[in-house]
Structure 1
Amino acid sequence: MELWERKLKECFGSAVVDKPKAINNEMPGLPRYVSEYLLGFFCEGEITKENLKETNDYIHEHRIDAREKEVFKKDLLLKGSLKLIDKFKVKINLTKKKEDTIQMEIPSLGISDAKVSSDILQSNDRLLIDGLWGMGEIVYNEDNKQIQLEKFKPFQLSEIDLEELIEMREQFSSDQWLNIMVSTVGLNYENYNRRQKLILLSRLIPMVENNIFMMEFGRPGTGKTYAYENISSYSRVISGSQVTEAQLFYNLTTKQDGLLVQYDVLLFDEIDKIKKTGIDEKVKNKLYQYLASGKFDRGEVEKVSECGIMMVGNLPPGGFSEEELLERLLHSSITHSAFLDRLAGVVPGWELESLKDRRKAYTKHYGFAADYFSEIIHKLRKKNYNYILNRISLEGTTIRDADAINKIISGMIKLVYPNGELTDEELKEIVDIAISYRQFVINQNFMINKDPELKRTISYLIYE
């Protein structure tokens, strides 16, 4: 163990895990934040063959394979109760008769109208938002033919103290903290220089910053979606470019909120494929509205959301020119001036190499447990660093430029300096990155749309 690893264990205890062992022993069919929670529960202190077997046996006994759901239903019918691991979710349908207002989804059994006890619902609000992974005990009532969730243990830490992390941050240098964060994501920090580590972490800005719209383009295999799929229960990856109004915004038939309301951040993967397909016109118009105001309406329903949006794509084969990147990779439906102006910044994923050798690509060190980190980055969304932003004077910007740059700076401070303690040199490093991400958008917008008002260069001063 390196010095920072020993210090990390001393400061955060069970919130820290041996990442290589956790990654190598991920449980099939479970998100990593769930897998690491279970490993932490059964393998407290150290992952051994014995407690790893106990973990696997526990999952095998209670996790339902889609092909076996009828077998489990038969057991439920005969025994009257059943314990299973699943992502449970509750919806409230006000259009149904009173006794059917609250309905629980149990995906592994293909059930969407189960009941849930009021005590469970009161103790687990997230069942009503994006659902919760956990161990549930369900019972079957032969008389009224109903299934009900009677007991529930969520697979996440019950209490996360953000202030503890903020206080402990001062125990580490910025280089050590960067290593911790990259290792927590699951990547080997030894493969990257300092700038590349900051680029890796800037991918997470929409996870910690409300209502920010960013893009990243890079080579295949650089891990663009890796963190979004593995470390947070508050993020959702949408593969491909096609998504409906009902899915994204609001379903007028079921009266259910769309993904923008359910999650902290949505990642649209393979956005370069939009070059061929385009975006549905209705979706594009609503997204345009949302990116401007954080609001959208559908039918007579108006919604407000703080969800961030990240779009990622692969670089064109056979080389590329940065000057014409967005024009080559994006459909004309989202390269007009007003839409691009809503894009806060582009992460230069092209500066990162593909992860070809698994043994070298993934971390060899300790890091925060995924379930702990998931809650930390969710809580960081509410932190405010305006007292630092007020020291920065931006010049040559529009209001939208300034808002975008400040959000990128704020997000990077939350990820690298959550205690708000950084030197002028460290602040300058972050401001330079933020401005470069935004300046790339400005330059691309001018090159594509030829509007003279778009030709501007941003500069800044930092005050004491």
Structure 2
Amino acid sequence: MTALDDKINEHFSGLVVRKDLVKTVKGNAIVPSYVLEYLLGQYCATADEESIKTGIDTVKDVLRKHYVHRNESGLIKSVIREKGRHKIIDKVSVALNDAKDVYEASFANLGIKKVLVDSDTVKKHPKLLVSGVWTIVDMEYEHFEDKSTSPWIINKLKPIQLSHFNYDNYIAARKQFNTDEWIDLLVQSIGFNPEKLGKRSKLLQLVRLIPFCERNYNLIELGPKGTGKSHVFSDFSPHGILISGGEITVPKLFVNNNSGKIGLVGYWDIVAFDEFAGKKKRVNKALVDIMKNYMANKSFSRGVETIGAEASMVFVGNTRHTLPYMLKHTDLFDELPEQYYDSAFLDRIHFYLPGWEVDIIRGEMFSNGYGFVVDYLAEILRSLRNHDYSDLYAQHFNLVSDISTRDKDGINKTFSGMMKILFPHKEATEKEIKEVLQFAIEGRKRVKDQLMKIDSTYAAVRFAYTCNDGGKTIHVKSLEEEEYPQYFGSFQDKESETEIDPQQLEQPNVQDAAKEKLSELKERQVIVQENQRGVTYDKLFDQYLQGARKITVTDSYIRIFYQIRNFMEFLETIAKIKPKDDEVKVHLITAEDEFKGPQQVENFMKIQENCAIAGVRFSWEFDENQILHARHIVTDHGWKILLDRGLDIFQHYEMNDSFSLSNRLQQYRSCKAFEITYLRVDS
């Protein structure tokens, strides 16, 4: 245990759990994390190792006896029948049977339906009526002569969520932690190791919590695959629901005008849309219009009646292109379906979380330290929805008058949410308040910058604030604006904290330069002797690959680890020579390894995932007959490079020695004998 873990257990005894225990107990149970942590919180909320071991055994025993696996539903039904009564853990949904004027429950895993539920239970837990709730149910079985009567009886139904908590104790305990310690505790609570993340990365992770503590908060996160965008919204809280962006309808989300039944926004604190991106997805225009009205006015219509709701809206999706490519060729909303690619809809977004800044999830990033039982934190955040922290910066700073009301709303809601998460006790220094305010402004500015690209009717806005102690004006820029100023029309100000070098705005046309250089290249042959050193992929290929948009590599021997590593180094050469704001497609034609095919595919998938970040679009195919003998590289701009040994040009070197120059730099490796021929071909 770390010093922080000791401190966490001291001040939040019984409310925290070691985060690696979830994987330990989960097994093949397909349940949200908050369900498992609810059980862990009952038996393992301690730092005592013996108690944890006993608690893990107890939780595993509870899951084994009471969690319903779909493929074991028949066995559980038999247990209930034979015992007459048995407690189960299952996802339960309820519907009104208006023909009989009764409520009937359906059990997702147990597979039984039309089980009577009393009205009091439904009134107490209305979410049972929409999408279902994970519950602990005391089930009974009693056979009736009347076959129309279900033998299944619900004796007691309890949703899996915290029954009570002490908010004042939470605030008092918060005061015992400095800001960095508190941030690390929150990061551990959502399952990540804070030592693997920088300060900004931690804050980006915590932005995902704002919809839980801020009413009617509209958040979008677009970025590469594998960054855990949907995790918090699917597993973190019993008050949020994650749905597929392609499955939603007006009746399901808002209201069914035929029946008058209220949809998801009327019952859940957060409605998150997974897989929201995808240009070709078809979306009902009427749905978009209703969403626009709801996101702006916090209400929707049911016939002649207007209904208010508090659900925050979260949209998460994957991008296909790198950040510089999007900034140069399109915009940061380009991946959205056409109906959502609407400036009026996008203007309702309060914060654009830059998914390209979030690390792809790796095994070592998960925490084994202590964090809040997520259900406890979820209840704390839910209670904070009743508070407003948006005016806490007014004693030190003021937004400039240029900023519109809608922009201010977005900034204020993000600021309020982050302050609730980081400083629920309201004891933040002026420097800390400034950091949160700038972060909130940046997230809204990212939205507005893209709206100005999409819709020319949007005027440029000065995103800045003034200091009350001297009137100094500070202009805020997004991180991508700092990195790629040539794609932004920023306000220049002498008082701005960062200066832009005008030369940065005059980037050379790399593509034209590459074409000019390409015309000077000649056909030739390179012969390398055995044991020769100083040879690198950069020297062999970079001149002939510059300017190519598509590169096809044919080599049947990219199978085992060292061969795949060679290929990865070849892709590194391409990543170094390509313009940052363009993309290159690299397609590999190879043969599937007879014995290690699954590992080969897994390695290719890792390469595909990681190279996409650099704008190298990698794909592959296997030659089904495995008769590939030719080894060559073909570009779409007129070159064919014949490789008699493929990319396997280096003699054995110690790949596991991180301190060996031959491991880290190709020029220090001894070569095998090989020849390369460069030929011009028709483009």
- Contact 1:219–1:349, Cα closer than 8 Å, also in 2: yes
Separation in 2 of the partners of 1:196 and 1:159? 32
Distance 1:440 1:432 in 2: 12
Per the TM alignment, residue 424 of structure 1 is displaced from its structure 2 partner at its CA by: 0.8
Is 1:29 aligned with 2:30? yes
The residue aligned with 2:218 is 213
Return the alpha-carbon distance in structure 1 between the equivalents of residues 123 and 291 of structure 2.
33
CA separation of 1:365 and 1:78: change in aligned 2, threshold 3 A: closer
**Contact 2:17 / 2:40 at 8 angstroms: preserved in 1?**
no
Bigger Cα displacement from structure 2, 328-337 vs 32-41: 328-337
> Shift of residue 459 of structure 1?
1.3
* Aligned residue pairs, count: 457
Opposite residue 140 of structure 2, the aligned amino acid is V
* Alpha-carbon distance, 1:410 to partner: 0.4
In the superposition, relative to structure 1, how do residues 233 and 327 fare at CA in structure 2: closer, same or farther (>3 Å)? closer
- Quote the residue 1:4 is aligned against: 4
Instruction: Tell whether 2:101 aligns with 1:109.
Output: no
Per-residue CA deviations over 1:231-281 (Å, capped at 9, x if unaligned) read 2111111234341122211234565332222211122122221x1114211
1:205-284 residue pairs with structure 2 within 5 A?
205-252=210-257, 255-273=260-278, 275-284=279-288
Pairing partner for 1:177 from 173, 182, 185: 182
- SS of the aligned residue for 1:326 comes to coil
- Per-residue deviation at 1:118? 6.2
In 2: Cα distance, 1:160 partner to 1:228 partner: 22
The 5 Å alignment of 1:300-339 reads 302-317=306-321, 320-321=324-325, 323=327, 324-339=330-345
CA apart distance, 1:390: 4.0
**Is the 2:43–2:52 contact (alpha carbons within 8 Å) kept by the matching residues of 1?**
no
For the pair 1:362 / 2:366, whether they are aligned, the reply is: yes
Deviations 1:145-196 (A, max 9, x none): 2333112344333211222212221111111111011111101111211111
Q: Quick one: structure 1 residues 279 and 326, their matched pair in 2 at CA, closer, same or farther if it must change by over 3 Å?
A: farther
Higher relative contact order (CA 8 A, sep 6+): 1
Mapped contact 1:261–1:307 kept (Cα < 8 A): yes
The answer to which structure has the higher helix fraction is 1
Q: Which residue of 1 aligns with 2:384?
A: 380
Task: Single out whichever of 56-65 and 81-90 deviates more from structure 2.
Answer: 81-90
Contact residue 130 and residue 263 of structure 1 kept, 8 A: no
RMSD: 2.6
One-letter code of the match for 1:214? Answer: L
For 1:203, the aligned partner's letter is: R
Q: Corresponding residue for 1:13? A: 13
CA drift of 1:132 comes to 4.2
Distance 1:257 1:263 in 2: 11
Residues 146-225 of structure 1: pairs in structure 2 closer than 5 A: 146=150, 147-225=152-230
Give how far 1:75 is off. Answer: 4.6
Cα distance in 1 for partners of 2:311, 2:203 equals: 22
CA contact (8 A) 1:117 1:150 kept: no
Whether the 8 Å CA contact 1:223–1:355 is kept in 2: the answer is yes
Corresponding letter in the other structure for 1:342 = R
3-state SS of paired residue (1:9): helix
Q: Distance in 2 between matches of 1:151 and 1:71?
A: 21
Greater shift, 188-197 or 83-92, is seen at: 83-92
Does 2:404 match 1:403? no
Tell me which residue corresponds to 2:418. 412
Residue correspondence of structure 1 range 32-71 to structure 2 within 5 A? 32-45=33-46, 46=49, 48-71=52-75
**Residue 125 of structure 1, CA deviation:** 6.2
Larger Rg: 2
1:41 is displaced (CA, Å) by: 2.1
Q: In structure 1, what is the equivalent of residue 441 of structure 2?
A: 435
Tell me what 1:422 maps to: 428
More divergent stretch after superposition (104-113 vs 454-463): 104-113
Q: What SS does the aligned partner of 1:373 have?
A: helix
Distance 2:153 2:305 in 1: 31
1:389, 1:406 within 8 Å by CA — same for their partners in 2? no
| Letter paired with 2:351 | G
1:456–1:244 CA distance, 2 compared to 1 (3 A)? same
Query: Does the Cα contact within 8 Å between 2:162 and 2:376 map onto a contact in 1?
Result: yes
1:226 and 1:114, CA in 2 relative to 1: closer, same or farther beyond 3 A?
same
CA contact (8 A) 1:26 1:36 kept: no
8 Å contact kept, 2:226–2:360? yes
Q: Would the alpha carbon gap of residues 331 and 152 (structure 1) be closer, same or farther in structure 2, given more than 3 Å must change?
A: closer
Q: Which amino acid in structure 2 is aligned with residue 435 of structure 1?
A: I
**SS, match of residue 300 in structure 2:** strand
Displacement after TM superposition at 1:293 (Å): 0.9
Unaligned 5+ segments in structure 1 are none
**Displacement after TM superposition at 1:36 (Å):** 1.2
Structure 1 residue 62 displacement after superposition: 1.8
